[in-house]
Amino acid sequence: LKPKGPVPVSADDPPGSLPLAERADPDREFLASRDVWFRPVQFANGPDGCLSVIDMYRELIEGASFLPPEALKTVDPSAGIDKGRIWRIVPDGFKPPAPPKLSRATTAELVALLDHPNGWYRDTASRLLYQRQDLSAARALQDMAEKGKTPQGRLHALYALTGLKKIDSKQVVRGLHDPAPRVREHAIRLCEKRFGDLKPPPYTDLWELRRDDDPNVRIQLAYSLHRVGEPNQNENIESSSAAVYVQLALKDIGDPWMRLALLAGIDPPRMCRVFPQLAESQYLRGQPDGPAFVVACAEVVAADSTGTGGQQLFNTISTLAYGKPGVRPDPTLARAVLRAAQTHGSVETQAFFNDPNNENPVKTVRDALMADAVRTARDARKPVALRVAAIRDLPILPFGEAYPVFATTIKATEPPAVQAATLEALSKYADDSVPALILDAWKAMTPAIRATATEILLSRNNGVVAFLDAVEARKVARSDVDPARVALLKKSPARNIGPRAAKLFAAPADRQKVYESYRPALDRKGDPVKGKAVFKAQCSACHKLEGVGQEVGADIRAIRDRGLEAVLLNILDPNREVKPQYLTYVAELKTGRQVTGLVTAETATGLTIRRADGVSESIPRSEVESLRSSGISYMPEGLEKQIDVPAMADLLAYLNSIK
């Protein structure tokens, strides 16, 4: 293959810490084909400098089980199974060079290849140097690390020295001062892994990078700080990693990647050292992301198991509650820190707050803060943001004390944000009065608030039972319950829920029969304007088009490109083809709550579930009792009850009109 014209490339180092990938020429494809079977699935760099393209070459990507019966009559889903191939993209006049034989290269030649412009040579030479473990390469590698012509060569040399266990403080310091930011970034990582072997440890050079011009260098420093120890635990804080940590936070609090690095790169005992400075910083608290970062830091302190976290949190809460010279009081932030202490506290932290010896001072501060929260939550003259923050803090109180506030703030006369915050706060309580309070307000709720209320009610068994009671008593209309929720209720393993839900909600019609009955919508001329209204009413909770809706489910444009028949099939029989990322999961929490939705992110310590109301909830793994897949698509069955054939034709016409 020969590209037409120059090959478009992107900038290697865009400004800011967030890597960006963008097309250099938005109107031209780097690689395109008129052959509809062309399926490029992977690329590889070769020793000849050309790019190899792995072409799956198939007529269809979908498996037979995912295709409508009508389509299977005209196509063979396995066509092309024996025609996969590998292309090589070459420039005009290209002449293949002789194949390299690096296995025969001398150690000196391999070291020289670390500076090669082709990454294949650099990677292969690095691998062979490590495999050979030829210690005589150390001197040449040291020269390469210092004098290599390219940043890549100097970087490979540093790692090669590490692989030979010949790295020393001198080379690392040079790396920390390298003119290329990516070399400096990797030199920090080498410090993290080999700091104990470096004599003397390069603390001064390492910490000086807090002033580096490159944001990614500073972010790497934040990740690595707590892994390199301290020069002397008795040193003044201004010459410690704690001082560096605070300076990084103050400099880059607006960068989400720096905030993530600062939280991931520190343990509770060290966070205890820096937390007062962070929480009391007027500058930090005045930044848009500052208060939330302080609360996140408080959660780390709360997890401390050395016994100092509780006292540290209480001291900071008191300072924020009442203020002190140079620190203005901030009761909203004080309550948020108190809530973090209660909800994320270790056994030792909880013991401090429950210690009878601390009861009076703790109670005094807590009572003052919560009295302010109650006043703020009820006061319609206060800004909505302050009221929402106060309502979120009310679960610090026993349910009986908070109930009168909730009974007021859940009313339809309140702003939607206040109602939603009330529902979220109610979800923290297991009291049997919670479902009744929500259901009493049900009729006056808007659809968006009802979606959140449904999530809260169905997150606990007592709420599910109360919800089914309300459906049976016609306090909640069956049409108020979306088909996806009906399917989940029917699949509930609880004996008092699954069978009862099956009786309350009629089983959906046979999917194939429904599909056949709606096929006339494919031939009917629909109205795109009416179809847009159908989309907004029935689809926008999970799909987004033209700025309307939530990006929860699959990309409708991608499905539309497979033809309107495929769109119709996916609407009426969504469980025929379900990608794993669109399966509904149920997380059972140790508190008794259930969180249902799509798993949108996962880490070693937690997961994020996006609920049907569009809210993403982050859950620490330590709080998850069990996580199970429902086995069904997030896209509900039974939409034919809301969309008749003419409306379906309108919807298809609208979807087909979107460019």
Q: Tens digit of pLDDT for each residue in 336-365?
A: 999 999 888 889 988 888 777 766 788 888
Which is more confident, 10 or 359?
359
Return the DSSP state at 200: S
Phi, psi of 79 (to 5 degrees): -60, 130
Longest Cα separation, the chain: 85
Q: Pairing state of beta strands 544-545 and 548-549?
A: antiparallel
Dihedral sign, Cα of residue 424, residue 429, residue 435, residue 437: negative
pLDDT of residue 488: 85
Per-residue pLDDT of 443-468, as tens digits, reads 888 777 888 999 999 988 899 999 99
**3-state SS string for 371-403:** HHHHHHHHCCCCCHHHHHHHHHHHHHCCHHHHH
Q: Give the whole-angstrom CA distance, residue 584 versus residue 34.
A: 38
Per-residue pLDDT of 73-128, as tens digits, reads 777 778 888 999 999 999 888 998 888 999 999 999 999 999 999 999 999 999 99
pLDDT of residue 479: 66
pTM exceeds 0.75: no
Confidence check: pLDDT of 652 > 50? yes
Q: CB neighbours (10 Å) of residue 330? A: 20
Mean pLDDT of 195-224: 88
pLDDT of residue 14: 54
- Cβ(188)–Cβ(224) under 8 Å? yes
Confidence check: pLDDT of 550 > 60? yes
pLDDT of residue 237: 41
336 CB-near residues (< 8 Å, 6+ apart): 291, 294, 295, 298, 389, 393
Q: State the chain's mean pLDDT as an integer.
A: 86
- Cβ(351)–Cβ(310) under 8 Å? yes
All domains of the chain, ordered by start, with CATH? 1-99 (no CATH), 513-657 (2.30.30.100)
483-to-14, 107, 461, 528 alpha-carbon distances in Å:
45, 67, 19, 25
Chain centroid offset of residue 459 CA: 22
Per-residue pLDDT of 211-231, as tens digits, reads 999 999 999 999 998 887 666
